[in-house]
Structure 1
Amino acid sequence: MSQELFTINNLWMMVATILVFIMHLGFAALEAGLTRAKNTVNILFKNTVIPALGILTYAFIGFNLMYPGDAFEGGFFGLAGLGLDLPDGWDTSEYDEGYTFFTDFIFQAMFAATAATIVSGAVAERIKLGPFLFFSLLYVGVCYPIVGMWKWGGGFLDTLSTPFYDFAGSTIVHSVGGWGAVIGAYLLGPRLGKYKDGKMNAIPGHNLPLATFGVFLLWFGWFGFNGGSVLSASPGEVSLVFVTTAIAASAGAFGALFASYAKFKAYDITMVLNGVLAGLVSITAGADQMAVWESAVIGFVGGILVVFGVVMFDKIKIDDPVGAISVHLVCGIWGTLAVGIFGDLAGTGQFISQLIGILSIGVFCVAFSFIVFFALKKTIGIRVPEAEELEGLDINEHGMHAYPDFATKE
């Protein structure tokens, strides 16, 4: 590879890294907008600390857990060592076809923190900050890199007779976060007043413009999330991924629009916003494998699924203030299965491999999340006291209001 092409590839990977980093601002805005004003500082605090936590843990252990080297090929677990140990030729094509060691690390580190950010939204408005950050430390530092290694690090899912396929992480990133989210929300219990006398009471978010801004930031960043996963600046491949990503997101918006209107007889902006995200999550596993029409179908179905996912979780009284479980878990599973149904890899063998990947990662993440959350619940507790929840986490956990001019004066 020429030095010029190597530089171009490396530059595109760094641009993609910046786009994925911007997604954390999108998550912060979306989660803050879809929750109540009295918990805004708490949401913003978590979404500021999680990327920092993710980058640090990924540097010291996560990266070498996820990419332990050829000695652990086909396995379940391996550790290349602690910290970033520079390989020979780290700054040349001797390390990789298209980018440097540091670019490889920082791009992957941006993905690592996303899983815990997904959990943040589902447990919002009633979880203690300290236990949540401790869970995030373990989830980002240990759980995510281990299941990531199973595919992207050359583990057993990559050595199946028909290898499991997850291009940019419908399962490895999004459903990993979704499994943690559903266990956290279940063990926490619903917010006060959410379910009364067998009925579900809507608790509307306080700032829909902010939530909309967050979704567009996420959509924008997703071009780096999927486009960077090409792992080069290959014109044809990156262009295809950009198109399939945009098509699926757009179709997801309409899938959610039609499904929510049929269900609620109203044009619900929150459902359409989650429909966009549903389309994005759904296409992420196979964005490089799909034709335009297949991307539209996958995104549209994702948009429908997210609406009925929200309804289903409400029926079983798992309270998810932002719809993160439906978006990231339900649509992450759908998008991963879609690789075996549509696109260049479609077939029975691929579909079975996709199922194996979904189930094995799901079992591990559920077990890991349950053990950590349950241990915290039985020791230091994971839920704030009732009085603090009613008054708001901002003033009780942080000693400040996000909107002091509008706060109730004593």
Structure 2
Amino acid sequence: MDQIQQLTSGLDTIWVVLTAAMILLMEGGFALLEAGFVRQKNAVSIIMKVFVDISFGALIFYFFGFALMYGKDIGGILGTTGFFMGGDLSHIALTISHDTYWLFQCAFVIAVISIVSGAVAERINFRAYILYTIAMTGLIYPIAGHWVWGVGGWLGKLGMVDFAGSAVIHGLGGFSALAAAIIIGPRIGKFSADGKANIVPPSNLPLASVGAFILWFGWFGFNSGSTLSATNTSIGHIAVTTMLSAAAGCAACILFTMMRYRKADPPMVINGALAGLVGITAGCAFVSDAAAICIGAICGIAMVYATEMLEARQIDDPVGAFPVHGISGSIGTLAVGLCAKPDAIREGTAGLFYGGGFHLLGVQALGLVTVCAWGFFITWVFLKLIKLIVPLRVSRDEELIGLDVGSHGVPAYSQEEGFLDLQHLKNNQ
């Protein structure tokens, strides 16, 4: 029996490490996606923020984020043990080591901050972004995560279900991104004096597309890896629902934008696939294939409407972080309460459409509102505090020249004229 347990533990460890690596590879997807969506003069700034996400995010989550999220519970609110991965973590009963579990969860926390990065692209001060990254990875996300996933978390006790993070990662990240975009304000020239949104063309849609494909690939690690077990028989079903929802979100966007704009809109189509992936993340293990298709299609169409809604309200979200993650994450979280198959979550539970009543849906709605409100308002508070230390936004000159040269002193491409513009500006000061 000991040999069987040892073999199982070894297989689970390999599985979790490999899927964690797949999720970390998604940072390459975020980098390419966002660099392709923004203007050429801001591509390097995107890459630099991704390096901040990975480096500062991993260190801060190791120092105290993991402890607040998964340490021994106090009042259902936060953890109190496991700082620097030391102390008592015996309550975490897994077949893998705590180090392995930390690595997997570290990949998640890095993804959360990367969501916010896109919403403030092309105008956030780099130092302010570092400070916000510390706040998100060390406090904002770990506390919300403890409520749902931590042993003793109050939302988890109520029965909230979020298999791989439609609410905890994407809802939280999306609404945090919305708050950040509102506070920092739109890019110069995004909106005209009469409030009309001006088109800011993406610099490289093929690059953004490759980023989306990498994210799509990594999502199989995101969802299937959340089993934390290489021998879990639901892995195949999770992968299928993930694929179907993404395909449905993408297809729905192609057809919907063809009807609405008379042409298939490439940025919308890219985000449509991502919206489908976000939407299925909460229920990928619990819903049927048909439900996954419906969830993806609904998320894809809702994302288009949400993008238009932001522009109508003069909120500038360059990569669509809130429509993709905030809206689709909300839909996916509620979909569990509607579409969860009988006994798929635990014995005696089912979604509303399967005769389970309103209980699960009500818990999902409560958890969703709580997590998203936490992300929005605590981000608002932290950004206001950060503003007292460093400027949130770059200067007008830096923004016009581009953050690559203005903030980092180097253009993305050697022929870029922004570098010469900077030299001219310095000579005239």
Residue identity in the other structure for 2:175: W
Residue identity in the other structure for 1:365: G
Distance of 1:235 and 1:269 partners within structure 2: 37
For structure 1, which segment, 363-372 or 42-51, has the greater mean C-alpha deviation from structure 2 after superposition? Answer: 363-372
- C-alpha contact (below 8 Å) 2:81/2:88 kept by paired residues: no
State the match for 1:156 in structure 2: 154
Give the CA deviation at 1:374.
1.7
Give the CA deviation at 1:255.
1.5
**SS of structure 1 residue aligned to 2:95:** coil
Residue identity in the other structure for 1:388: E
- For residues 361-397 of structure 1, give each alpha carbon's deviation from its aligned partner in whole angstroms, at most 9, with x where no partner exists: 1222222101111223355321111111111111110
Residue identity in the other structure for 2:198: N
- For residues 95-149 of structure 1, give each alpha carbon's deviation from its aligned partner in whole angstroms, at most 9, with x where no partner exists: 7443111111100011011111100000000110001110111111111000000
Distance of 2:60 and 2:232 partners within structure 1: 33
State the match for 1:201 in structure 2: 198
Residues 1:174 and 2:173 aligned together: no
Distance of 2:256 and 2:309 partners within structure 1: 14
- C-alpha contact (below 8 Å) 1:283/1:295 kept by paired residues: yes
State the match for 2:78 in structure 1: 77
State the match for 1:224 in structure 2: 221
**Which among 5, 9, 16 is matched to residue 6 of structure 1?**
9
Give the CA deviation at 1:204.
1.1
TM-score w.r.t. structure 1 length?
0.95
Residues 1:42 and 2:45 aligned together: yes
- For residues 220-266 of structure 1, give each alpha carbon's deviation from its aligned partner in whole angstroms, at most 9, with x where no partner exists: 00000001101111352111110010000000001211222222111
**Which among 11, 15, 19 is matched to residue 18 of structure 2?**
15
- C-alpha contact (below 8 Å) 1:294/1:342 kept by paired residues: yes
Residue identity in the other structure for 1:75: G
Distance of 2:326 and 2:94 partners within structure 1: 33
**SS of structure 1 residue aligned to 2:379:** helix
TM-score w.r.t. structure 2 length?
0.91
Map 1:139-150 to 2 at 5 A: 139-150=136-147
- For residues 256-288 of structure 1, give each alpha carbon's deviation from its aligned partner in whole angstroms, at most 9, with x where no partner exists: 112222221111111111001000000000000
Distance of 2:107 and 2:57 partners within structure 1: 8
- C-alpha contact (below 8 Å) 2:68/2:143 kept by paired residues: yes
Distance of 1:19 and 1:68 partners within structure 2: 26
Give the CA deviation at 1:81.
4.5
Distance of 2:114 and 2:374 partners within structure 1: 19
Give the CA deviation at 1:78.
2.9
Distance of 2:308 and 2:25 partners within structure 1: 30
Residues 1:397 and 2:402 aligned together: no
State the match for 1:123 in structure 2: 120
Give the CA deviation at 1:87.
5.6
**Which among 205, 218, 235 is matched to residue 238 of structure 1?**
235
Map 1:105-120 to 2 at 5 A: 105-120=102-117
Distance of 2:118 and 2:249 partners within structure 1: 20
Map 1:237-256 to 2 at 5 A: 237-256=234-253
**SS of structure 2 residue aligned to 1:205:** coil
Give the CA deviation at 1:68.
1.6
Percent sequence identity is: 38
State the match for 1:55 in structure 2: 58
State the match for 2:351 in structure 1: 346
For structure 1, which segment, 277-286 or 77-86, has the greater mean C-alpha deviation from structure 2 after superposition? Answer: 77-86
Residue identity in the other structure for 1:407: E
State the match for 1:297 in structure 2: 294
Distance of 2:87 and 2:254 partners within structure 1: 49
Distance of 1:373 and 1:156 partners within structure 2: 27
Distance of 1:107 and 1:166 partners within structure 2: 16
Structure 1 stretches of 5 or more lacking a match?
none
Give the CA deviation at 1:86.
6.3
Distance of 1:62 and 1:37 partners within structure 2: 34
- C-alpha contact (below 8 Å) 2:66/2:82 kept by paired residues: no
- C-alpha contact (below 8 Å) 2:131/2:386 kept by paired residues: no
Give the CA deviation at 1:325.
0.7
